[in-house]
Amino acid sequence: MVAEIGELRVSIDEIDLQIVELLAQRLRLVMRVGEIKRTRGLEVYDAGRERDLLTRVAAAAPAPLEPAMAERIFQCIIQESRDLEQRHVSQL
């Protein structure tokens, strides 16, 4: 049984690394969007886009991921993304 837990944890660790890489890819894209917004004089915060994203991820959440869980996770991702975008744009 202990070996099973160890094997499962190895798989979890591998998935965690994939999630981290995907988050980094997402943040690189966010920074590019911020650059485009800056050149066009657009605001970093887009309430409609955020609402649409949260609705989309909640609807797409497969079990056992609950829609509310997906929304909470993405609220954190959105906030961190917005903060990075603002810092990035202010450095340009």
**pLDDT at position 27, please?**
98
- Hey, what are 20's tokens? 């981290």
pLDDT in tens, 31-75: 999 999 999 999 999 999 999 999 999 999 999 999 999 999 999
Confidence (pTM): 0.90
Per-residue pLDDT at 3: 76
Mean per-residue pLDDT of the chain: 96
- Counting Cα atoms < 13 Å in the Cβ hemisphere of 42 gives 12
Contact 85, 33 (CB under 8 A): yes
Task: Give the chain's radius of gyration (CA, Å).
Answer: 17
Q: Where are the domains of the chain?
A: 2-91
Q: Give the Cα separation of 8 and 90 in Å (integer).
A: 43
Name which residue leads in pLDDT, 78 or 2.
78
The CATH number assigned to the domain with range 2-91 reads: 1.20.59.10
Give the torsion sign (CA, 40, 41, 43, 46): negative
